């Protein structure tokens, strides 16, 4: 049985400390450590754009960044990777502040042993896994694996900021499934859950990578459309989403057909905050829903476009 390999990114500018870390980790028998070392924060950030190590060992005082700013800059880029900070005794307060800001642990130079370093890495990785799981449960819908309502509103707020900065628009697409209730009523929630999972996958595949698809609750979904220059650009996306949803759903010997009613609103023309935009998209969706057909409607118009 091969020994497990732990990939470590070491961001450290002192050649002696780099050699020491490599030597201390090489003494461990039960785990093989592969250490990639860079000597400044910029190089560390560049590395993390291409690779995903198991853990980062970060010196807080580097040629291009000093103190807690070093950690905060790195943490903002890769929140999903555990970070252990290291510093000299006289800078321990900076290390403690880094832990308060999200670092998994800190080490004081001069006091690092092979066992201490190995244990710190192991615990940091396990703690981060637990932390990521808690974050996932708080921000994602466990049935469809899409962002939930909370994360949807957070990303909507971020999209507003981006639109304001680049003078573009944000589209909000509110989706309610047609004929879904009958599946739950006649075939049970297990069958309904399967359909919802499939809908989530189809919606995600139908939108652009820059957009956010989310499950808002029950059989309601939302999509944030970023960098919209003209509202008519969303027609093709709405049609693509509806066509994806209304394809047949096959489960064992059963075949289901559902559809979608979609309402659209836009920031900043239709609303100045998240609730305004969602409420206006909801009202537009209801116009489509009353017809009983698959289609979409802009909140600025009473005209429903059927698909």
Q: Using alpha carbons, select from 10, 30, 12 the residue that is nearest to residue 122.
A: 30
Count CB neighbours of 17 within 10 A: 17
> Cα torsion for 99, 104, 105, 106, to the nearest 10°?
-60
Per-residue CA distances from 94 to 11, 18, 273 (Å): 16, 21, 38
Q: What are the phi and psi torsion angles at 150 (to 5°)?
A: -60, -50
Catalytic (active-site) positions: 219
State the Cα angle at 151 between 300 and 169, rounded to 5°: 35
What is the Cα–Cα distance from 239 to 21, expressed in whole angstroms? Answer: 56
């Amino acid at each position: 049985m091969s020994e497990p390999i732990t990939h470590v990114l070491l961001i450290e500018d002192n050649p002696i400390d780099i050699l020491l870390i490599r030597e201390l980790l090489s003494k461990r028998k039960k785990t093989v450590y592969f250490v990639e070392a860079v000597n400044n924060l910029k190089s560390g950030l560049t590395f993390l754009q291409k690779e995903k190590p198991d853990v980062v060992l970060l010196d807080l005082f580097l040629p291009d960044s000093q103190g807690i700013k070093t950690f905060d800059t790195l943490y903002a880029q890769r929140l999903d990777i555990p970070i252990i900070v290291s510093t000299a005794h006289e800078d321990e307060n900076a290390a403690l502040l880094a832990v308060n800001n999200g670092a998994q642990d800190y080490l004081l130079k001069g006091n690092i042993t092979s066992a201490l370093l190995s244990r710190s890495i192991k615990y940091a990785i396990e703690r981060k896994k637990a932390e990521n799981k808690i974050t996932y449960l708080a921000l994602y819908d466990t049935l469809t694996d899409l962002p939930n309502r909370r994360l949807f509103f957070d990303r909507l707020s971020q999209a507003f900021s981006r639109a304001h900065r680049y003078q573009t628009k944000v589209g909000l697409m509110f989706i309610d499934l047609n004929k879904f209730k009958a599946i739950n009523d006649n075939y049970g929630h297990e069958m309904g859950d399967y359909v919802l999972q499939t809908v989530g996958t189809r919606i995600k595949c139908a939108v652009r990578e820059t957009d956010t698809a989310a499950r808002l609750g029950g059989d309601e979904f939302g999509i944030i459309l970023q960098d919209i220059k003209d509202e008519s650009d969303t027609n093709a996306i709405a049609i693509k989403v509806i066509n994806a949803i209304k394809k047949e759903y096959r489960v064992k010997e059963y075949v289901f057909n559902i559809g979608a009613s979609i309402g659209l609103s836009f920031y900043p023309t239709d609303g100045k905050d998240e609730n305004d935009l969602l409420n206006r998209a909801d009202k537009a969706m209801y116009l489509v829903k009353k017809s009983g057909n698959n289609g979409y409607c802009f909140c600025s118009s009473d005209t429903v476009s059927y698909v």
